[in-house]
Chain A
Amino acid sequence: MTDLEEFRAEARAWVRENAPKSLWGTSGSGPFDGYWGGSKCEETDPDILRWRDLGIEKCWTAPAWPEEYGGGGLSREQENILHEEMKAIAVPRPVAGQGLAMFGPVLLEYGNDAQRAQHLPGIARGEVRWCQGYSEPNAGSDLANLQLRAVRDGDEFVLNGQKIWTSHAELSDWIYCLARTDPNAPKKQMGISVILVDLDTPGITVRRIDLISGYSPFCETFFDNVRVPAGNLVGTENEGWTIAKAILGHERSSIGRSIARQPGSAQREVVARARKHLAAPEGAIPDPLLRDELAALGMLEEAFHLTLARIQQSAESGTPGPEGSITKIVGSELKQRRFELGMQVAGTQGLGWEGPGFDEDDLQYTRDWLRSRASTIEGGSSEIQKNIVSKRVLGLPEGKK
């Protein structure tokens, strides 16, 4: 056996012995599926908490982080294998969320030792939840247009302005913000800094945003003379745009992968809904046009999973191809098609908002369908992604947007 095969055997045994049985088959096992944690977390499921504790004990909540920060010191390949083994039985990650998937890796790369020692262990243990302060009302796709002001005052920055789409801000402990530290810089991408803010600091107000699907974890976060220690600056002042792009890279690949779920699961889900709503418990789906659309969805799903595997294999071989750039575009479109088709088969039974006459599964599905409309917008809209691919991968000339 090669070392990696040996590790797979070890990881498989550990996951199967330790993951509580009640969690098997319940999760997409992506980087955002699992215990999000933080001091305001209200999770009570004893199995989820037990799984978290076992993960922490093994140091496999942040498998590839250095051991000194609560990580497992594994290689990227080993980390992938461990997560594949969780996915194989569809259990959630012991700890999940933005701290692990997005902020942590960037702090490892750009933070200083003191910042890493202060923040990473709490993320790895699920004790501190992080959220992201990027978008603003006038800085969506044009993120570099952000206006949250940070003015240096002695050993502190003073922050004034507003962030939007700060998901989970209500339940988070800290926020990593992009702030404008030099309003006179010659280009708007310059003069931006990454600043870490404790959400309990006076002057911060968090307000929830409801979506077309109803309740959502999204929030608006307002900053009114919020004073932050200067040591909370990550990297070099006014050069935060590079870090911002790195975090977005982690976010997009995380979104692409978290959409992926189990191979074949989208097809199974929609076929099951078709069987239920068309009263066709077995055999061929009676409507050939619908069946064709189901098969097209199943094929797209399969090709997407094969492509994710190919991207991962080529990254592991040391020569990553350019195709990683399309995972978010394809993954989000696949998700929308899946829900559209799932709604199609439900007919008028999919029109319920709440209350009698609709079953719980259908009500939830309808909310999820509405929520899926955001998947081609959040984390960089499909249009922005296509601009990036056409410029960086296809080498097409920059034009008027």
Chain B
Amino acid sequence: MTQDRAPFLLLNDEQEMLSKTAYDFIRERAPAARIRTFRDSNDDVGFSRELWYEMAELGWLGLQIPEPYDGLGLGFFDLAVVLEQSGRELMPEPFVSTLLLGTQALLLGGNEEQKKALLPGVTAGKTLITIGYEEAGSRGGLSSPTTVAKKSSDGFELSGEKRQVLDGHLADRIIVSAATSDTGYTLLLIDPTHKGVTVTRQSRIDGLNAAIVRLDRVPVKSDAVVGGLDAGAFLLEAVFDRASVGLAAQMLGASEQAFADTIDYIKEREQFGVPIGSFQALQHRAVSVYTDIALTRSAVLAAARAIDESPEEVPRLASLAKAMASETFMHAAKEAIQMHGGIGVTDAHDIGFYMKRAQAAYMTFGTPFQHRRRWAELHGY
């Protein structure tokens, strides 16, 4: 907190209601066990289109999208309220790809035509947009891409390979980062059905859907630039900040649910004739998870608030939220498995999915170590 007054960290009445509605809907309709079902049935989509449409009808996909693009024009804070609940059941629906990557890139850097063409479809649940930034060896960071956009007569010719493009298997549009000069790179909006684009689905531990996107001399018009030419790094960093906060909100929800399930379990499970939750060795560790979650909740809410109200605070607080949520979710997931004992390491039990998602989320949009380094830089040391 740099000002002498802290940001407001509570939900207002409408947000409390939204949170409750989302909790009920998601807990009933979208249990984490679906991850196993999608995996074992080799489902082509990997999530539920129907559920995505239903959430669009509830207004959740357009919460933050401005009214001219059919959204509700509320804040990122409101979106974070829903994201937290979606994290509870590890929903594989395209929250991260479409609402946190594609939409934020358009809101922050898109021109009027791009926003008009795509955001109403996002609000309606019809359009999926993602960003391809990860490459072989890039370890998920913001480093310069090896994908190249060579200048052509009326635009660019795009060549390279993006990996683990979230929901790349179904995305209607993919924004890819590509080097456009020796010093800079640019974000370019492409239609994956175009000539020269090959999409190959990938399978990850955590149930999120991803694909390899190969670009072989793909012709792209100059109006495909999102943000400025050679200014992709700046824009992508701003998008990652928001995506980090949104992902942190999901991690917060996931930590809360894994923890709640674990507390229920240790109250029920008996050994030596008593519930194992009566053992102090487990109680104190449970309190340690509870404490981490409480601290993380404050960090996530402060960062979400900053996106709406104090943009200058966003980089610092996004790094805080992402680093803390990553550590907390990992801590909660590890303790969840340990306290569940043998059943916790079986594929039949859902708690293991929390561990897998914790690892994936930990590595996405910067590890805690990277965010602490950035925090130090932002604080001048």
Q: Do A and B bind each other?
A: yes
CB closest residue in chain B, given A280: B381
- Taking a contact as CB atoms under 8 Å apart, the answer to whether B4 and A87 are in contact is yes
- Binary flags per residue of B262-298, CB closer than 8 Å to A gives 1, else 0: 0100110000001101111001101110110011111
User: Closest CB of chain B to A19's CB: distance in Å?
Assistant: 15
User: Closest CB of chain A to B378's CB: distance in Å?
Assistant: 10
Q: Assuming the A-B contacts A294-B376, A298-B375, A396-B277, are A305 and B1 also in contact, with contact meaning beta carbons closer than 8 angstroms in the complex?
A: yes
CB closest residue in chain A, given B289: A394
In angstroms, Cα B381 to Cα A94, docked, is 35
Is A299 located at the chain interface by the 8 A CB criterion? yes
In angstroms, Cα B5 to Cα A104, docked, is 28
Q: Assuming the A-B contacts A326-B290, A390-B286, are A305 and B372 also in contact, with contact meaning beta carbons closer than 8 angstroms in the complex?
A: no
- Taking a contact as CB atoms under 8 Å apart, the answer to whether B283 and A305 are in contact is no
User: Closest CB of chain A to B280's CB: distance in Å?
Assistant: 6
- Taking a contact as CB atoms under 8 Å apart, the answer to whether A285 and B299 are in contact is no
Is A387 located at the chain interface by the 8 A CB criterion? yes
Q: Kindly state the interface size class of chain A when it binds its partner.
A: 35 or more
Contact pick for B324, options A84, A299, A396, CB 8 Å: A299
Is A323 located at the chain interface by the 8 A CB criterion? yes
Chain A residues lying within 8 Å of B381, measured Cβ to Cβ, are 271, 274-275, 283-285, 291, 294
Q: Assuming the A-B contacts A305-B6, A306-B9, A401-B280, are A394 and B290 also in contact, with contact meaning beta carbons closer than 8 angstroms in the complex?
A: yes
User: Closest CB of chain B to A292's CB: distance in Å?
Assistant: 5
CB closest residue in chain B, given A296: B372
Contact pick for B267, options A283, A295, A323, A397, CB 8 Å: A397
Is A309 located at the chain interface by the 8 A CB criterion? yes
Question: Which of A133-141, A152-160, A310-318 forms contacts with chain B?
Answer: A310-318
CB closest residue in chain B, given A300: B295
Is A78 located at the chain interface by the 8 A CB criterion? no
Contact pick for A386, options B283, B295, B372, B377, CB 8 Å: B283
Contact pick for A399, options B6, B278, B290, CB 8 Å: B278
In angstroms, Cα B5 to Cα A38, docked, is 34
- Taking a contact as CB atoms under 8 Å apart, the answer to whether A299 and B1 are in contact is no
- Taking a contact as CB atoms under 8 Å apart, the answer to whether A302 and B320 are in contact is yes
- Binary flags per residue of B322-337, CB closer than 8 Å to A gives 1, else 0: 0110000000000000
User: Closest CB of chain A to B227's CB: distance in Å?
Assistant: 29
Contact pick for B295, options A303, A309, A314, A396, CB 8 Å: A303
- Taking a contact as CB atoms under 8 Å apart, the answer to whether B376 and A284 are in contact is yes
Chain A residues lying within 8 Å of B283, measured Cβ to Cβ, are 386-387, 390, 394, 396, 399
Is B74 located at the chain interface by the 8 A CB criterion? no
Contact pick for B369, options A292, A304, A317, CB 8 Å: A292
- Taking a contact as CB atoms under 8 Å apart, the answer to whether B274 and A399 are in contact is yes
Chain B residues lying within 8 Å of A389, measured Cβ to Cβ, are 287, 290
- Taking a contact as CB atoms under 8 Å apart, the answer to whether B9 and A285 are in contact is no
Is A9 located at the chain interface by the 8 A CB criterion? no
- Binary flags per residue of B237-280, CB closer than 8 Å to A gives 1, else 0: 00000000000000000000000000100110000001101111
Is B35 located at the chain interface by the 8 A CB criterion? no
- Binary flags per residue of A303-339, CB closer than 8 Å to B gives 1, else 0: 1111101100110010000010010011000000000
- Taking a contact as CB atoms under 8 Å apart, the answer to whether A314 and B323 are in contact is no
Contact pick for A303, options B10, B284, B324, B372, CB 8 Å: B324
In angstroms, Cα B274 to Cα A398, docked, is 10
- Taking a contact as CB atoms under 8 Å apart, the answer to whether B291 and A396 are in contact is no
- Taking a contact as CB atoms under 8 Å apart, the answer to whether B9 and A309 are in contact is yes
Chain B residues lying within 8 Å of A306, measured Cβ to Cβ, are 1, 6-7, 9, 295, 298-299, 301-302
User: Closest CB of chain A to B10's CB: distance in Å?
Assistant: 5
Is A88 located at the chain interface by the 8 A CB criterion? yes
List B347-381 residues whose CB lies under 8 Å from chain A: 369, 372-373, 375-377, 379, 381
Q: Kindly state the interface size class of chain B when it binds its partner.
A: 35 or more
Q: Assuming the A-B contacts A309-B1, A310-B298, are A267 and B379 also in contact, with contact meaning beta carbons closer than 8 angstroms in the complex?
A: yes
Chain B residues lying within 8 Å of A264, measured Cβ to Cβ, are 1-2
User: Closest CB of chain B to A118's CB: distance in Å?
Assistant: 38
Q: Assuming the A-B contacts A299-B323, A386-B284, are A326 and B294 also in contact, with contact meaning beta carbons closer than 8 angstroms in the complex?
A: yes
- Taking a contact as CB atoms under 8 Å apart, the answer to whether A299 and B320 are in contact is yes
List B1-36 residues whose CB lies under 8 Å from chain A: 1-2, 4-10
Chain B residues lying within 8 Å of A323, measured Cβ to Cβ, are 294
In angstroms, Cα B277 to Cα A150, docked, is 40
- Taking a contact as CB atoms under 8 Å apart, the answer to whether A313 and B8 are in contact is yes
- Taking a contact as CB atoms under 8 Å apart, the answer to whether A307 and B284 are in contact is no
In angstroms, Cα B379 to Cα A329, docked, is 26
- Binary flags per residue of A246-274, CB closer than 8 Å to B gives 1, else 0: 00000000000000000110010001001
In angstroms, Cα B291 to Cα A300, docked, is 11
In angstroms, Cα B266 to Cα A329, docked, is 23
Chain A residues lying within 8 Å of B324, measured Cβ to Cβ, are 299, 303
In angstroms, Cα B286 to Cα A401, docked, is 16
Q: Which residues of B contact A (CB under 8 A)?
A: 1-2, 4-10, 263, 266-267, 274-275, 277-280, 283-284, 286-288, 290-291, 294-299, 301-302, 320, 323-324, 369, 372-373, 375-377, 379, 381
- Known pairs A326-B290, A326-B291, A394-B283; list 8 more (Cβ under 8 Å): A295-B379, A296-B372, A306-B299, A309-B298, A313-B8, A395-B263, A396-B263, A398-B278
26 A-B residue pairings within 8 Å (CB atoms) = A263-B1, A264-B1, A275-B381, A284-B377, A292-B376, A296-B372, A303-B299, A303-B320, A303-B324, A306-B1, A306-B301, A309-B298, A310-B6, A310-B10, A314-B10, A323-B294, A386-B284, A386-B288, A387-B283, A390-B283, A394-B283, A394-B290, A395-B263, A397-B274, A398-B278, A399-B278
